[in-house]
Structure 1
């Protein structure tokens, strides 16, 4: 009897060791794909930034995302993509936020509508990529009121340059126990101020596929649901909370459907 229990114990922990080793090897592979792409991507991006060629720069970023995403074993299962984006229009693009993969996914989903991210100021301290992100995207220190106010001016400039804006309205990646954090007003206020249609996505499986935990994750499918675009034409400041709650409900409901 003791021998049987020992064998089961040995088998279980042996399988756990194999699983953990495979996950670590795969994450090393993911990192390697990023490292391989850097000698081409970073210099090209820096030159294009200096030449003020954002749309070409964006396509370079997108090429990086495509390369790393697919060589790491991810692929999409899409739903609701019959409604196309107009390449001559600017949009406010939002989704739930659960992983570093979300940025790659946004690049891949928008081949004809270059987007600018509004992200946390801490990103500027990342080696190489921090410099690129700082020069091309919009960084905000959410603890600094002046920084938050500056974002509105930066967004206005980018929209006038023909670029769309991407904001994750949760304000960051929430704790793993939280399915969807409360939304902040910023994305919706700016969408209404600049009369930008709001493009809404729900990303499923991303937290499972590539969490921040080193010993968890795996390649595989990532479900993306694109919801009907919400027009903001004619809306005013007092509509911000209503639109915010409406979109929160849409994404929250879809996440529950993904879980089922």
Structure 2
């Protein structure tokens, strides 16, 4: 029933706000002392886990290969839902986000986001250039990045991805660091972009094997972009084609949440 979804969504927004206010004093630490940027990923992880726990969404985090905690990566995920942002925060690797500048308009939250993450106005060439420059600087500072290469929620028919922008792949090649494709198969069901009403469904996120960029040049951007796109797209299609009922997912795939 729609009224139950409205109640669930309103409750979820309240939980999101309360958790943010509780964590905000700790988020000030990396804002004031940038060298402690790894706290951003740690706090994002706890925020995401607590949010999903309190809104009763079971989740499962799957890694196709164990990532080297000492290495940097660029994580590229499909983007069909606003739920993708906390989902990306479940990453065991500490990351900063590259996201749309509209987030800066949210009171207090926008202040935090603009100082700890990288924002971009894709309608302005200067902003795109600045975000690319800041992304390169972030890599030089030892950070890993989480990017939605579609440039926002652009699809008109979930779960069909939009075309990828070049930015993430240019940064990865320029800095010769690996890209990790990330598939988020069910969030378009949990929080549809065109309704913004929660629907109960288990959440899953798959971190694929890293795709190395060693030896690649900017001439390889399109090939790299296509490889990442196909990796995510094939996984999406596989999940949709073999989709379990919610009951079976809970009983089999989501019995234990991934720790760490």
Indicate the TM-score class for this superposition, using the shorter chain for normalisation. 0.7 to 0.9
Q: CA deviation at 1:185?
A: 1.0
Shift of 1:211: 1.5
**CA offsets per residue over residues 170-192 of structure 1, 9 Å max, x none?**
01012342511011111111111
Q: Which residue of 2 aligns with 1:98?
A: 80
Measured after TM superposition, the shift of residue 27 of structure 1 is 0.7
Q: Aligned pair count? A: 239
Q: Give the secondary-structure state (helix, strand or coil) at the position aligned to 1:229.
A: coil
Deviations for 1:20-72, whole angstroms, at most 9, x for unmatched residues? 11111111110121122133122321243112222123322322111112211
Is 1:140 the equivalent of 2:120? Answer: yes
CA gap 1:171/1:63 in 2 versus in 1, 3 angstroms: same
Q: Shift of residue 194 of structure 1?
A: 0.7
**Alignment partners' CA distance in 2, 1:38 and 1:228:** 32
Match of 2:131 among 145, 151, 156: 151
Q: Answer yes or no: is 1:49 the counterpart of 2:46.
A: no
Unaligned runs of 5+ in 1: 1-18
Instruction: Look up the SS of the partner of 2:164 in the other structure.
Output: coil
Q: Are positions 1:198 and 2:187 aligned together?
A: no
Deviation string 1:139-160 (CA, Å, 9 cap, x unpaired) is: 1121222221222321122112
Give the number of the structure whose alpha-carbon radius of gyration is greater. 1
Q: Paired residue for 2:111?
A: 131
Cα shift at 1:226 = 2.6
TM-score, with normalisation over the residues of structure 1? 0.86
* Map of 1:181 onto structure 2: 162
Aligned to 1:3: none
Specify whether residues 213 and 82 from structure 1 end up closer, same or farther in structure 2 by C-alpha distance, changes over 3 A only: closer
Query: Is the 8 Å Cα contact of residues 40 and 94 (structure 2) preserved in structure 1?
Result: no
Query: Which moved further from structure 2: 212-221 or 96-105?
Result: 212-221
TM-score by length of 2: 0.86
- For 1:80-119, list aligned pairs within 5 A: 81-110=63-92, 113-119=93-99
Task: Return the offset for 1:215.
Answer: 6.8
Q: CA deviation at 1:219?
A: 2.4
Alpha-carbon distance, 1:74 to partner: 1.7
